[in-house]
Structure 1
Amino acid sequence: MRQTYRAMLLACAMAVPVVPATAQEASESTKAANRAVLDALPFDDRTDFEDAERGFIAPLPGGSIADADGRTVWDVEAMDFLQGDAPDTANPSLWRQGKLNHITGLFEVTDGIYQVRNFDLSVMSFIRGDSGWIVVDPLISTQTAAAGWALLREKVADLPVSAVILTHSHADHFGGIKGIVTPEEVAARDIPVIAPEGFVEEAIGENLIAGNAMSRRASYMFGNLLPKGPEGMIGSGLGTTTSSGTITLIEPTIVIADTPTEMEVDGVEMVFLNTPGAEAPSEFMFWLPAHKALMQAEIINHVLHNLYTLRGTKVRSGDLWAKYIHDVIGRYGDAVEVSFGSHHWPTWGNAEIVEFWEKHRDTYRYIHDETLRLANKGLTMLEIAEEIALPESLATEFANRGYYGTVSHNAKAQYQLYFGWFSGNPAELHELPPAEEGAAFVRYAGGADAVIDKARADHDAGNYRWAATALNHLVFADSENTEARELLADVYTQLGYQAESGPWRNFYLTGAQELRQGVTRGATAQTASADIIRSVPIEMYLDYLAMRLDHPRAADADIALNFVMPDVDETFAVEVANGVMNYRMDVQEDDAQATVTLDRATLDRINLQQTTFPDAIAAGDVTIEGDRDRLMAFLGLLDDFEFWFDIVTD
């Protein structure tokens, strides 16, 4: 028997966990800033809450999800503090979004379409086919995906997987796939795994070449290292946070390259619309004619999304983003009755959906076009970010609020897309690095004590942005200055308390925590999983090795090696000279100093740290004809990366 979502929420309200608080309260300036938000937005509009609770079937059993060793990878109950009005330590708009994202369970979207929400950062959807369930976007981790899959089969229908659809190349939409289906099942039952063109290359590339730094920054962005509570992490806007289970990948069996692509999937008619270069380099939406429903993927959301994501990815085009939504309005605006996506809750009703789509489209169009207009008038990136503001008709829509992306950093992204990092001011051509710049700033300001005195006065007056700039210079000039670190942490905390963006809050509060405590290691999503490593095309792996080369140390190196991989029938040649590594596929060079033979499976074991090159050589899994020292010299030039590097200090 179905229960209402509200009744379930009240039943577990007594189980709110104790969350460690910081020593810092909201300042009077922060309280005033957050009160102003209450006056600016229509908080009495409950439509989103009604939509987020609509169709509720069942909660997540037990309130958390663990792996096989009993380690918790997803904890819904840890966020149960998100009740009532926002405290002084939280922007009330972000608090509202956190409450909406905390609505958890299995939901019916419309006849034949279901979702599990708040089982992970993203949403997993299920479409009833003729013979089974079509699974859309199986979350980040196998454990969270398996929990959602089990709940669907228990509460709705115990049917097999008949297809899997991966809407785009970000890990929160494919990582849990092996919690739903195995590669052996896919092969044996010929289960289609459908993804957009370029999916594998983009899914792997983002998590490999820049993966170490991006994952470290993601630990800030999603608040993975913060305590959950009114003074800590209250969500990321796009969802709560990321799960920390096992990330997997099954390569697509069907790739969608054209718009529109019409296809019948397990008896369900679908029309796929490719949307590359907007929210993800590889992405599509799809239309379900029989349901009059659009699966909007992550092109349409109940947040302003990122045109640049703070964890660090390639800049996205607001122009393309707006045009993709505009195209959908032209195609299906007259017919649509349901719009559901890879995050958040659905929207129902033609008029409501079309208005939602149009205002979302116009938000990306406004940011893109206004940034370019102001740039062409001579304003710089920082000046544009300070001046640009959405018109009231867009800014007062909760779905356009900057809970994830912000107007400020999205405007900077569009400037960067067209003009790069340089504003045209010659003073920016050859700036000092942070530590040297900090030392010079402190010297100009009259010394560390003078900077602290002035910054404390600005802190007390609520001038946090400038205080943060000045104190950041001092901390980079002298990271051992405890008074400066503590004061900067206080400043970051107040900025975090005021932030409407989940990632901004998480960055500020994580920075404050690391200034006070140093780098604290915690559970965070590790994208370099076994499946990702095994799926890397050898060309991409060689690009990764070329990036890892310690180029200054390799400046005088002269290394030429041939490689043979019998199990995958691949050969390539590697050359190191002039401080760089180049390679050629499908060749063996006559002047190579050595030929190295190893299976791709052995290379994968080395990369997964299940063995080492010396051990594999000793075991006979790697053979070398020629100068063995040349191979060892090459391996010795490859750099390793520390994940927990400093961000807020030098």
Structure 2
Amino acid sequence: MKRVWKTGAMALALVSGGNAQAQLTDAERSAVLARLPADDGSDMADATRGKMAEIPGGVIRTSDGRTVWDASAFDFLKAETAPATVHPSLWRHARLNHIHGLFEIVPGKVWQLRGYDISVMTIISGRTGWIVIDPLLTEEAAAAAMQLAQAKIGKRPISAVLFSHSHADHFGGVGGIITADEVKKRKVPIVAPHGFAEEAVSENVLAGNAMTRRSAYMFGTALAPGAEGRVDNGLGTGLSIGTTGYMAPTMLIGPEGGLKTIDGVRFDFMDAAGTEAPAEFLFYLPDFKVLHTTEVSVKTLHNILTLRGAQVRDALRWSKIIDGALVKWGGEAEIQIASHNWPTWGQARVANYLENQRDAYRYVHDRTLARANAGMTLHEVADGIAEPSAQQAAYGARGYYGTINHNMKATYQRYYGWWDGVPANFNPLPPVAAGKGYVALAGGADKLLEAGRKAQGEGNHRWAAELLNHLVFADPANAAAKAALADSYEALGFAAESGTWRNYYLAGAATLRGTELPRKGSSTQSRSFISAIPTAEFFDALATRFAAERAGNMRARINFILPDTKETLGIMVNGDVEIPRYGTTLPDADATVTLNRKDFDGIVIGETDFPTLMKSGAMKIEGDSGLFLRWLMLHPPFDPAFAVVTP
């Protein structure tokens, strides 16, 4: 039995039996291909140009045999034609991201290592050694990539490391290419944008549990690679699985940017803080006519608000920064490289690429404000919006990571907040209560399920998903409802041009069908990363876990003394709120706890715990130890696998 389902402008055939499988029909495939930009082969030429070597099979393993990266799992992408379960545009993009190896960008001067993590590592030949930009997410992946490079271009010391911005996939692997002792001994500059240290270690501290959970859906970590599962993440094939470390910058590039010489190589920096990352820069290499656009301009439209959650970014500033780079360097840059995806060669092509990128973010910003100022609400501004000319003209600004749809909603949120101005939406019912109301309104669960299936049969999966989601939240034990909702999520995922939309839909479908998404993401934070998080932020994060409902109007004053870092902190518990006060001790403390910060870090990474430290004498409590222990018990860990697509 086969039913044809339509998803917007895309028809899907659902084959009944087992796990339903949605597929693009031949007619719809032709329609999709007809509206995509012409493919002149230049992207494939750029993505393969200068290839010198590759890691055999693209597989990186640790000494004990653990797999850190396996590009071979995505070898199904070698087929030129997209299967019926993948959007043709996403398939094309994924094939380009899958190309891995060491690539020469400027003969004898600049190279890139691509396809061994979600990010790209760039190597520049300096006067005394290798200058490395963005040493990937994990130490294991960075070490293997650097080993490949040195086998082909020679062994030289690392003479400088540049962190282009404050996201971990651009600095986390630094420990795989150089040690902290070597940096200190040889005075190797670690260069980063202003504000880097604060943003790199703190962005996900307070909201980290929920962000990590949603990241599992966004990046599809539980989805098996394949034409019916994980295909690509837009910025790259996937995330390496290893150890994320940290090193403190020794040289900061200020808001003024400007020309700096690093190990004999001239870098012309431009500040890009507040665009893709809170701390970020672009730079131009005038001696090589190479423009590094970091993550401000990559081969996809990026996110104004990521699906995992983050602070909303500024699409207008983003567009203006790209335009500033275009004005300053667009007339002379002959090569554009970035922290993700592949390069662009040729001055005219670089300029055209920057124009499209600039226009896409400006379109998001201006069309959102135009529609909002005309009275459209949050969910109306992006619905039915025309595809911008920047996306119609070329593939480089299409929505493989971010999308016009959710970026316009994010821009609306930046200016107007979460509320759309409709009184009924000011204080709506939570999902479970609303779901039960919809079930009652429909005349029972069977009736609502029937309505959802009717919408599916008519090809309206957005409406079907909304109806069936109410039923699942009203009755999460309803297996038929979960199976039907999974079918619609799968149909929407297979139709998505965005890799992250696809991942989220398909991971949602997998969850509804009984597959548990793992708690852990791509990497484990090392002690170097944890120790870099400011103590004040650690205690702010701890305060978010305070179980006020169980505190019984507790009143307490607790001091912490960290001898190894010479830090102090006082905590005031006032009934249902906990106030950390950094840099001081409270004179009326009920208890004073003394332990080294390194032991506190050991607790965070799971190497030890408070009882063990107390027993060993590494932690001392003066005053009311019972009160301290009661306070401690009021900070249960968050559930790392809380439900996302069910109540």
| Same structural fold, with TM-score higher than 0.5 when normalized by the shorter chain | yes
- The Cα offsets for residues 157-201 of structure 1, whole Å up to 9 and x where unpaired, read as 211100000001111111111001010010011000011111122
SS in 1 for 2:21: coil
Q: What is the Cα deviation at residue 262 of structure 1?
A: 2.1
Tell me the amino acid that sits aligned with residue 239 of structure 1: G
For residue 624 of structure 2, what is the aligned residue in structure 1? 627
1:587 aligns with 2:588: no
Query: Which residue of the partner structure matches residue 191 of structure 1?
Result: 188
Aligned residues of 1:389 and 1:407 also touching (Cα < 8 A): no
The equivalent of 2:125 in structure 1 is 128
User: Matched residues in 1 for 2:197 and 2:27: separation?
Assistant: 48
**Is the counterpart of residue 303 in structure 1 residue 303 in structure 2?**
no
Taking the aligned partners of 2:563 and 2:26, their CA distance within structure 1 comes to 66
**2:529 aligned to 525, 532, 547, which one?**
532
User: What is aligned with 1:338?
Assistant: 335
The CA deviation string for residues 199-257 of structure 1, in whole angstroms up to 9 with x for no partner, is: 12211212321111111111111111001111111111111111111111111111112
Letter in 2 for 1:109: I
Using the TM superposition, give the Cα deviation of residue 22 of structure 1 relative to its aligned residue in structure 2, in angstroms: 8.0
Q: Is the 8 A contact 1:33 1:498 kept in 2?
A: no
Q: Deviation at 1:391?
A: 3.2
C-alpha distance in 1, partners of 2:176/2:238?
19
Structure 1 residues 160-171: aligned runs within 5 Å: 160-171=157-168
Q: Which amino acid aligns with 1:174?
A: F
1 CA distance for matches of 2:466 and 2:292? 43
- Contact in 2 for aligned 1:371/1:388 (Cα 8 Å): no
Query: Which residue in the other structure is 1:6 paired with?
Result: none
SS of the aligned residue for 1:96 comes to helix
Match of 2:43 in 1: 48
Q: Aligned partners of 2:30, 2:423: CA distance in 1, in Å? A: 42
Q: Distance in 2 between matches of 1:22 and 1:244?
A: 32
User: Does 1:106 find its partner at 2:102?
Assistant: yes
Instruction: Provide the TM-score with structure 1 as the length reference.
Output: 0.94
1:97 to 79, 93, 100: 93
Label 1:190 to 1:648 Cα distance change in 2 as closer, same or farther (>3 A). Answer: same
Please state whether the residue corresponding to 1:459 is helix, strand or coil: helix
Q: In structure 1, which of residues 521, 544, 549 is the aligned counterpart of residue 541 of structure 2?
A: 544
Aligned to 2:276: 279
Q: Distance in 1 between matches of 2:326 and 2:272?
A: 14
Q: Determine whether 1:37 maps to 2:40.
A: no
- Residue of structure 1 in register with 2:10 after alignment: none
- TM-aligned CA deviation for residue 321 of structure 1: 0.2
**For residues 308 and 22 of structure 1, what CA distance do their matches in structure 2 show?**
36
Once the two structures are TM-superposed, the CA of residue 363 in structure 1 deviates from its matched residue by: 0.8
Compared CA separation, residues 39 and 210, structure 1 to 2 (3 A) = same
Q: SS state of the match for residue 164, structure 1?
A: strand
User: What is aligned with 1:78?
Assistant: 73
Shift of 1:573: 1.2
Separation (CA, whole Å) in 1 of partners of 2:451 and 2:584: 65
In structure 1, how many angstroms separate the alpha carbons of the residues matched to 2:27 and 2:244? Answer: 43
Task: Return 5+ residue gaps in structure 2 as ranges.
Answer: 1-16
Matched, 1:57 2:57: no
SS state at 2:22 partner = coil
Which residue does the alignment assign to 2:6? none
Q: Is the 8 A contact 1:215 1:526 kept in 2?
A: no
Deviates more, 1:330-339 or 1:186-195: 330-339
Whole-angstrom CA distance in 1 between matches of 2:432 and 2:366? 37
Distance change (3 Å), C-alpha of 1:90 and 1:31: farther
Q: Match of 1:255, SS?
A: strand
1:385 aligns with 2:382: yes
Q: Report the Cα offset of residue 474 of structure 1.
A: 0.2
1:227 maps to which residue?
224
In 1, the alpha carbon distance for the partners of 2:246 and 2:377 equals: 42
Paired position in structure 2 for 1:9: none
In structure 2, what is the equivalent of residue 68 of structure 1? 63
Indicate whether 1:173 and 2:182 are aligned: no
Partner deviation per Cα, 1:62-117 (whole Å, 9 max, x = no partner):
42111232111110000000112001111000000010000110001113110010
User: Structure 1 271/105 Cα, relative in aligned 2: closer, same or farther at 3 Å?
Assistant: same
In structure 2, the partner of 1:154 is 151
Note if contact 2:230-2:503 (Cα within 8 Å) is conserved in structure 1. yes
- Among 234, 250, 255, the alignment partner of 1:253 is 250
One-letter amino acid matched to 1:57 = M
The residue type paired with residue 107 of structure 1 is F
Secondary structure class of the residue paired with 2:92:
helix
Over 3 Å counting, the alpha-carbon distance change for 1:104 and 1:330 in structure 2 is same
Structure 1 counterpart SS, 2:204: helix
The equivalent residue for 2:459 is 462
**Equivalent residues, number:** 629
Q: Quickly say closer, same or farther: Cα 1:520–1:369, change in 2 above 3 A.
A: closer
2:414 alignment partner in structure 1: 417
Indicate how the Cα distance of structure 1 residues 432 and 527 shifts in structure 2: closer, same or farther if over 3 A, else same.
Answer: farther
Alpha-carbon contact 1:208-1:528 (below 8 Å) kept: no
8 Å contact from structure 2 (residues 37, 392) kept in 1: no
Q: Which residue of 2 aligns with 1:18?
A: none
Say whether the 8 Å CA contact 2:560–2:570 is kept in structure 1. Answer: yes
- Shift in Å at residue 564 of structure 1? 1.3
Aligned to 1:481: 478
Which residue of 1 is the match for residue 114 of structure 2?
117
In the TM superposition, residue 520 of structure 1 has moved relative to its aligned partner by: 3.8
Contact kept in structure 2, 1:223 and 1:507, CA below 8 Å: yes
Task: Report if aligned partners of 2:245, 2:525 keep a CA contact under 8 Å in 1.
Answer: no
Distance in structure 2 (CA, Å) of the matches to 1:354 and 1:644: 45
Letter in 1 for 2:443: G
Matched letter for residue 184 of structure 1: D
| 1:395 CA drift (Å) | 2.8
Map residues 442-453 of structure 1 onto 2, 5 A cutoff.
442-453=439-450
8 A Cα contact 2:221 2:517, kept in partner? no
Q: Offset at 1:43?
A: 4.7
Question: In the alignment, what sits opposite 1:562?
Answer: 559
For 1:26, the equivalent position in structure 2 comes to: 22
TM-score when normalising by structure 2: 0.95
Q: Answer yes or no: is 1:571 the counterpart of 2:573.
A: no
**Which whole-Å deviations, capped at 9, do the CAs of 1:543-580 have from their partners, x for residues lacking one?**
11121212333361111012211111111211111411
Deviation at 1:32, TM superposition (A): 4.7
Deviations 1:12-40 (A, max 9, x none): xxxxxxxxx98433346x65544321111
Could you tell me how far 1:523 is from its partner in structure 2?
A: 5.8
Once the 2 structures are TM-superposed, how far is the Cα of residue 428 of structure 1 from its aligned partner?
0.7
* Of 497, 501, 510, the match for 2:498: 501
- Report the CA distance between 1:527 and its aligned residue: 5.6
Contact (CA 8 Å) 1:559, 1:593: kept in 2 or not?
A: yes
2:373 aligned residue (366, 371, 376): 376
**1:295 Cα deviation (Å)?**
1.1
- After superposition, what is the alpha-carbon deviation per residue over 1:97-140, rounded to whole angstroms, capped at 9, x for unaligned? 01000011000111311001010001100010001100000111
Amino acid at match of 1:105: G
Q: Whole-Å Cα distance in 2 between the matches of residues 70 and 22 of structure 1?
A: 35
Superposed structure 1 runs of 4+ greater than 6 Å apart: none
Percent identical among aligned pairs is: 45
Give a deviation string over 1:330-365, Cα, whole Å, max 9, x none. Answer: 211222111100001111111111111111101101
For the aligned residue pairs, the C-alpha RMSD in angstroms reads 1.6
Amino acid at match of 2:85: T
Q: Using the alignment, how far apart are the partners of 2:605 and 2:220 within structure 1?
A: 27
1:425 offset after TM fit, Å?
Answer: 0.5
Distance 1:490 1:448 in 2: 18
> 1:224·1:522 contact (CA, 8 Å) conserved in 2?
no
**2:70 partner letter:** D
1:511 aligns with 2:508: yes
Q: What do the CA deviations read for 1:360-419 (whole angstroms, capped 9, x no partner)? A: 101101110110011111100111110322333543310111100000000000000000
Asked if 2 retains the 8 angstrom alpha-carbon contact of 1:555 and 1:577, the reply is no
CA contact (8 A) 2:216 2:518 kept: no
Q: Which piece of structure 1 moves more, 552-561 or 342-351?
A: 552-561
| SS in structure 1 of the partner of residue 437 of structure 2 | helix
